[in-house]
Amino acid sequence: MRTCNPWLARISALTLMGPAVVLADEAIDANSVNAFWGVSAEKFEYRYSDSDEKLAVIESDAWYGSDELKFRWQFTGEWEEAHNAWETLENQFLAQTPISEFWDAKAGIRIDTPEGPDRVYGVIGLTGLAPYWFEIDTNLYVSDEGDASVDFEAEYELLITNYWIVSATFETLLAFSEDREIGVGKGINSTEMGLRLSYDLIDRSFSPYVGVVHERKYGDTADFARASGGGTEDWFAVVGARLAF
């Protein structure tokens, strides 16, 4: 029989103190979780333009890391059906860290390998939540050709109900110098505005949507587009889904 005398138990406890000290680091692993991951596709859609252009568009994001440091891989692709080619094919590899309560800074590289000339860029950016729930993402790119540009994206979600959600997006690209080879002119290049109505069908993992997107090119960029036989303004009907795992 064992009488569990508290004194005896405590003495044996103290003889265990050695191992307990060794355990100090393990304690961190055992009682809090430090690394997480996520995979999502904010856009996974098909676009039909009023001029009969058909595009498949993917914008996806995979991340791994801690509260202090995350690694992201962001993939953006636009497949044009008529040309049977990637009009946009972009991979960004980024490290991201918080700089304030609502904002993260990020840095890394972007590798563009669409049809035509490739580009590699250095990226620094800012992402976070602005007052009134605007999600903002903005980046400065410097290409291997020495050209600098800035993009800016804002998104706002309007809850019709807790499952029916309208999201409004705005994107723009501004270049500080011309890179004629890839059709980038100096100044404001383009804007894209989107409005999508989605429904959370399975949790927030699968949310099909329909919507409209308006794309417009400006200035020299528009001229380049016209010169290569493209349009400068398009309305698209979109159908797709938001995915998250």
How far is residue 158's CA from residue 195's CA, in Å, rounded to a whole number? Answer: 10
Shortest distance in whole angstroms from residue 203 CB to other proteins:
8
Q: Using the rule CB under 8 A, is 18 a contact of other proteins? A: no
For residue 183, CA distances in Å to 74, 79, 115, 152, 175 come to 23, 17, 12, 19, 11
Residue of 83, 102, 181, 201 that binds other proteins (CB under 8 A):
102
Whether the CB-CB separation of 151 and 138 falls below 8 Å is answered with yes
Span of 37-45, 80-88, 174-182, 234-242 interacting with other proteins by CB under 8 A: 37-45
Residue 49: strand pairing partners: 236
Shortest distance in whole angstroms from residue 3 CB to other proteins:
5
Q: Using the rule CB under 8 A, is 26 a contact of other proteins? A: yes
Nearest-Å Rg of the Cα atoms of the chain is: 25
Span of 12-20, 74-82, 139-147, 218-226 interacting with other proteins by CB under 8 A: 12-20
- Residue 73's nearest CA partner among 24, 38, 32 is 38
Using the minimum distance from each CB to other proteins, give the nearer residue, 16 or 237: 16
Shortest distance in whole angstroms from residue 208 CB to other proteins:
18
Residue 169: strand pairing partners: 155, 194
Q: Using the rule CB under 8 A, is 204 a contact of other proteins? A: yes
Span of 81-89, 131-139, 145-153, 211-219 interacting with other proteins by CB under 8 A: 131-139
Whether the CB-CB separation of 232 and 183 falls below 8 Å is answered with no
Shortest distance in whole angstroms from residue 211 CB to other proteins:
17
Shortest distance in whole angstroms from residue 77 CB to other proteins:
22
Q: Name the DSSP letter for residue 115.
A: S
Q: Using the rule CB under 8 A, is 93 a contact of other proteins? A: no
Shortest distance in whole angstroms from residue 99 CB to other proteins:
12
- Buried/exposed 20-36: b ≥16 CB within 10 Å, e otherwise: eeeeeeeeeeeeeeeee
Using the minimum distance from each CB to other proteins, give the nearer residue, 3 or 84: 3
Residue of 7, 84, 146, 229 that binds other proteins (CB under 8 A):
7
Q: Using the rule CB under 8 A, is 129 a contact of other proteins? A: yes
Residue 93: strand pairing partners: 73, 109
Residues in the interface with other proteins (CB under 8 A) total 49
The number of C-alpha atoms within 13 Å of 109 and in the hemisphere containing its C-beta is: 6
Question: For binding to other proteins (CB under 8 A), which residues are involved?
Answer: 1-7, 9-16, 19-20, 23-24, 26-34, 36-38, 40, 67, 98, 101-102, 129, 131-133, 158-163, 203-204, 244
